[in-house]
Amino acid sequence: MERLAIQGGNPLRGIVRIGGAKNAALPIMAACLAVEGRTTLRNVPDLTDVRTLSDVLTRLGLKVTRDVDNHLTIEEGGGPRSQVADYELVRQMRASVCVLGPLLGRYGEARVALPGGCQIGHRPLDLHLKGLEALGASIRIEHGDIIASATKLRGTTIDLAGPRGSTVTGTCNLMTAAVFAEGETVIEHAAREPEVCDLAEFLRDCGAIINGHGTETIRIAGSAPLYGTDYAIIPDRIEAATFMTAVAATGGAARIEGLRLDHLESVLEWAAAAGINVKPAGPDAIHVAGGGALKACDFAARPYPGIPTDVQAQLSAILCTAPGTSVVVDTVFPDRFLHVPELQRMGAKIERDGNRIRITGVSRLSGTAVRATDLRASAALVIAGLAAEGTTVIDDLPHLDRGYEHLDRKLRSLGAKVARVSAEL
């Protein structure tokens, strides 16, 4: 087991390039179960979650090959086909549930273990399952598995409105399954996230007829079969926002390349309000300059196009040293505040009340030993450690490696003093 040791107080400077979006790559990889022939996916990040899903796909009979350029080739012929995704692998990552729709759509049956993933609050699968039932599937839960079967799927109207907005993985599952349904399927209150749109564009490249993605109403005309294609995954907007925050927190200046400005509008608006100097530096880059006066700044994490819940912890971390009081609300995952006790260990003044926290800025944070409790909380602790006085040591790095490709290496390229060390030291 390794720890991440960070010597704080070093401004980040230079150029860093953003990788492919984890949250787009995973459902697109899963959708390859529904595709005939060979598919090449470009700009796929080298992450633990990607490797886990590659293992799931291999167990299901596909052959998955990665090359040195972050290209994945996914094709049939890796072994006997299976429609069973077992708990041993699925428990490691919630996104594994995205294999349910493709398996059911193409083969008419699927058995998928109830998933695991980060412990950031209750994330029910009810909307996934009700949607598949509306398409004509028979669903039951047995021995910890979702068992789905259908002689024929039929297009219908599915409403994905939930108490905290739509479901991203549910929209992905249903969209892929609906490609195989007879007639038209209309998904109302669909998730609008760029990662959902990327899956839709991939499926269209494979021959699906899909319209309306990026809005709350997606229409799918049953058009199976799907055929292999060559497709590039969109940049990771969460990684881009994380680096933007890290540079600003250290008072550095850096160019962040390979991103999509249109996917970051809400975060860039928040950055301006918080006193962070961010300017476009071309069609796919921004320049971030820290060192100015941070400002207390309230915000709420909301479904797209709002500020993503996946950057709530990182933005909260930088506000810990912003003079004044900031109020942060998470409307998507009300319990996503496991980073708060760890930031408090570093000297942050934070009070929690339900799905909101109140941050009173302090002059500086102090490095200490902390524990990464989930993927985005770990990124928040990295940001805090980079800005803190002294050394911060972060335990439970597997969380970090699930969603950030070579983060320590990229940070070192910007001048950070970051190293992986043995937990025994």
Q: Where are the beta strands (DSSP E) in 18-67?
A: 35-36, 38-42, 62-66
Q: In the chain, how many domains are there?
A: 2
Residues 226, 291 share a domain: no
Note the pLDDT of residue 125: 84
Same domain for 50 and 189, yes or no, is yes
Same-domain check for residues 130 and 65: yes
Strand partners, 370: 394
The tens digit of pLDDT for each residue in 52-64 reads 999 999 989 999 9
**pLDDT at residue 90 is higher than 80:** no
- From 211, 232, 253, give the residue that closes a domain: 232
Share of the chain above pLDDT 70, in %: 96
Last residue of a domain, one of 191, 210, 232: 232
Residue 78 confidence (pLDDT): 60
- In sequence order, the 6+-apart residues with CB closer than 8 A to the CB of 353 are none
Which pLDDT score is estimated for 290? 87
Q: Which of 199, 232, 265 is the last residue of a domain?
A: 232
The CATH number for 361's domain is 3.65.10.10
Give the residue-averaged pLDDT of 350-358. Answer: 97
| pLDDT value, residue 118 | 47
pTM of the shown model: 0.95
User: Residue written as tokens 């992986």?
Assistant: 420
Q: Are 317 and 276 in contact (CB under 8 A)?
A: no
Q: Does the pLDDT value for residue 282 go beyond 50?
A: yes
Q: Are residues 257 and 220 in the same domain?
A: no
Is residue 120's pLDDT more than 80? no
* pLDDT exceeds 50 at position 238: yes
**Which amino acids are annotated catalytic?**
118
Residues 278 and 187 grouped into a single domain: no
Q: What is the C-alpha to C-alpha distance for residues 349 and 173, in angstroms, rounded to an integer? A: 41
Helix (H) or strand (E) holding 100: helix 100-107
The per-residue pLDDT of the chain, averaged, comes to 93
pLDDT digits (tens, 9 = 90+) for 338-350: 999 999 999 999 9
Residues 80 and 223 in one domain: yes
400-412 mean pLDDT: 95
**Which 8-state DSSP code applies to residue 307?**
B
122: its two tokens: 């209750």
Q: Do 227 and 92 reside in the same domain of the chain?
A: yes
Q: 34 with 159, same domain?
A: yes
User: What digits encode the pLDDT tens for the residues 357-391?
Assistant: 999 999 999 999 999 999 999 999 999 999 999 99
Lowest mean pLDDT among 246-255, 355-364, 394-403: 394-403
CA angle 173, 175, 177 (to 5 degrees): 70
Same domain, 187 and 322: no
pLDDT of 80 reads 58
Q: Which domain holds residue 366?
A: 2-18+235-422
Same domain flag for 200 and 95? yes
Q: Within the chain, how many helices (H) and strands (E) appear?
A: 14, 26
pLDDT at position 1:
77
Q: Are residues 115 and 151 in the same domain?
A: yes
One domain, residues 326 and 351: yes
